[in-house]
A and B are shown apart, each in its own frame.
Chain A
Amino acid sequence: MLRIENISKKFGQFELNDITFQVDKGDYFMVLGPSGAGKSIILEVISGLVKPDKGKVFIDDLDITNLAIGDRSVGLVFQDLAVFPHMSVFENIAFPLKRKGIKGSELKSRVSDLAEKFSISHLLKRSPVNLSGGELQRVALARTLALKPEILLLDEPLSSIDVQLKAGLKSLLRSINREGQTIIHVTHDYDEAISLGSQVAVVNSGRIVQTGTPVDVFRNPASEFVANFSGIKNFFKGSISDSSAHELRCFTVSGIKIWLYADDSKSEGYVCFPENSVSIALVNPQTSAINTYQGVIVEIFQQKHGFEVWVDIGIRVASLVTWESLERLNLKTGNEVWVSVKANAVQYISIS
């Protein structure tokens, strides 16, 4: 378990302000925020590379705030990976083990076990200079996990990876987590936060704005910042169970079926669709939108542009309508209406 209490750090113009959070053993903890929010500095404070001006860091109730960097049992994978260019892949992975006095045949077998786990056995003799981003990522992970750290810190681990390889690396990170490894993962990408995190902390201008499960944070944004950052009110957890003849997938949440396009055929995940993609009609509309539901208006809020109308169709769905439409259709709470969403507007984020 990692606990951070009231960490503050001033860095020229930049300030980390009173950061407090707790990461339980086995959590996959996401720190989400725009670039320049101070996410990387949080990791550097935890790893000891940066001394905080104020506050404390605990691992299992042991105060590690002033402990030497190498004695903390905290492994950090840098955004640029920092694989040593003058050493072979083998030497990179052996680097932390040698310091522990491991040598000879034990060193060899430890390194080759790690290499096998991260599918880089064929690269051990190579210089890292010519490796791809995905391969370097695996080398950096193997090297950092060689010491079996209590906490694994990842700084934007997916930012330098090709789109095609992202899914593979995500499932690798998930399997590392599933083996019990506590992970703190910093990102600016809310897709990543949703698809990997069991807990999310949203950071903005050096402060933690909100923490909670992905569903809590994205469905009930605690501030305008989180709402704008996530930007999505129609956000549901469920699973894909079925597909149509023409590649549409059927996502089920609380018995409601939502049709959408996705690559996965059977998996758990989240769907989200923007409020402005949801249209409201008084009678069952014969539109091209495949997702059409009957429901009751439960709430109407005025927004900067138009109104936000919440309709209960078994789940609560938000729609953005103009002032003119609201008057023309005479929408009021308690009205029975039809809601439709195009399958193309629904985004799916897999978590399995």
Chain B
Amino acid sequence: MPSKLSNNIKGYSQNFSWFRLVATLLGGLLLLFIISPILGMVLATPLKSIVSTAAESEVKESIWLTIWVAMAATLVFALLSIPLAYLLARYNFPLKRLVLGIIDLPVVIPHSAAGIALLGFMARDSFLGKTSSSLGFSFVGTPAGIALAMAFVSVPFLINYAREGFASVPERLEKAALNLGASPARVFFTISLPLAWKSIVSGLIMMFARGMSEFGAVIIVAYNPMITPVLIFERFGSFGLKYARPVSVIFIAVCLVVFILVRLIARKENKDA
């Protein structure tokens, strides 16, 4: 019996298998499905129109706006998310599963609906709206409102990555640090945070990426100032497919460059650490 079993395993891994062939073909189809629309769009867009579009100040401004607002949203919400992720990784408390469910909620609800909810939350007659207008600024139609919309739909990525990072830090190391006289805060900053850093950086990148590409929630909270996804939508609605393409190509390129850069920096930091 054992020899027959091992023969089967050997056959499975080395010889021809119909299943593997079919799985490979299906996987190839899927990859084509992702690559071909993007590649098709890039090829269908003349280089001249890309260059001239890139020179438009409206386009440049929207790209800068998208990048810095997404980055600001990520950094500000990191201050709230990372301590929460640590609590979720280390402690059990009543209704913890409910809390975990609430954190994942923004991922499963339609983003336009999230935008409507946020608009009510920050409108002039709401608590947040009244407070902010008494301080002399408004969320609706401003970068602050865009940041809130981006954060709402993207913060679950950061919390979940950071939570997994903290959970993978052995509790023994924290106990040892306590025994060596460190306070809980010092244990967090010298042991837990550095050891979970890799996961936290992945979470920050994911949140930033998701925030930059958000459209549904942002367009409801702030049509203007225009982030690039909204600008693409506007050009498509007003002028048609041909005019929406150059901006799309440019923005996809910007996203790719930004993510490759951020990942390279993160990898270098991890090597140094």
Seen from chain A, the residues whose Cβ lies within 8 Å of a Cβ on chain B are 47, 49, 69-71, 74-76, 78, 80, 82, 84-86, 95-96, 99-100, 143-144, 147
Contacts and interface: CB of A to CB of B under 8 A. Distances in A.
Contacts of A84: 173, 176-177, 191
Interface in B160-205: 170, 172-173, 175-183, 186, 190-191, 194-195
Interface of B: 170, 172-173, 175-183, 186, 190-191, 194-195, 273
Contacts of A96: 180-182
A85 B177 CA distance: 12
A144 B180 CA distance: 7
B183 A70 contact: yes
A49 B180 CA distance: 12
30 contacts: A47-B179, A49-B175, A69-B178, A69-B179, A70-B178, A70-B179, A70-B180, A70-B182, A71-B181, A74-B179, A75-B180, A76-B179, A78-B175, A78-B176, A82-B170, A82-B173, A82-B175, A84-B176, A84-B191, A85-B173, A85-B195, A86-B195, A95-B182, A99-B180, A99-B182, A99-B186, A100-B181, A143-B180, A147-B180, A147-B181
A75 B195 CA distance: 23
Given A70-B178, A143-B180, 13 more contacts: A47-B179, A49-B175, A49-B178, A70-B181, A70-B183, A75-B180, A78-B176, A80-B172, A82-B170, A82-B175, A84-B173, A96-B182, A147-B180
Nearest to A100: B181
Contacts of A99: 180-182, 186
A96 B182 CA distance: 7
Contacts of B182: 70, 95-96, 99
A100 B191 CA distance: 17
B183 to A, nearest CB: 7
B173 to A, nearest CB: 5
Contact of B273 (A78, A86, A95, A147): A86
Contacts of A144: 179-180
A75 B179 contact: yes
Contact of A82 (B176, B183, B186, B190): B176
B181 to A, nearest CB: 4
A61 B179 CA distance: 21
A143 B273 CA distance: 21
A293 B195 CA distance: 65
Contacts of B175: 49, 78, 82
A42 to B, nearest CB: 15
A74 B176 CA distance: 11
A91 B241 CA distance: 60
Nearest to B195: A86
Contacts of B273: 86
Contacts of B170: 80, 82
Contacts of A76: 176, 179
Contacts of A80: 170, 172
A221 B191 CA distance: 45
A207 B191 CA distance: 35
Best-buried of B173, B180, B191, B194 by chain A (most CB within 10 Å): B180
A307 B195 CA distance: 61
A276 to B, nearest CB: 40
A44 B191 CA distance: 20
Nearest to B178: A69
Contacts of A86: 194-195, 273
Contacts of B180: 70, 75, 95-96, 99, 143-144, 147
Contacts of B190: 95
Best-buried of B176, B177, B182 by chain A (most CB within 10 Å): B176
- Which 3 pairs from chain A and chain B are nearest by CB? A82-B176, A70-B181, A96-B180
A78 B174 CA distance: 12
B266 to A, nearest CB: 16
B95 to A, nearest CB: 22
A143 B178 CA distance: 13
A85 B273 CA distance: 10
B77 to A, nearest CB: 25
A80 B175 CA distance: 12
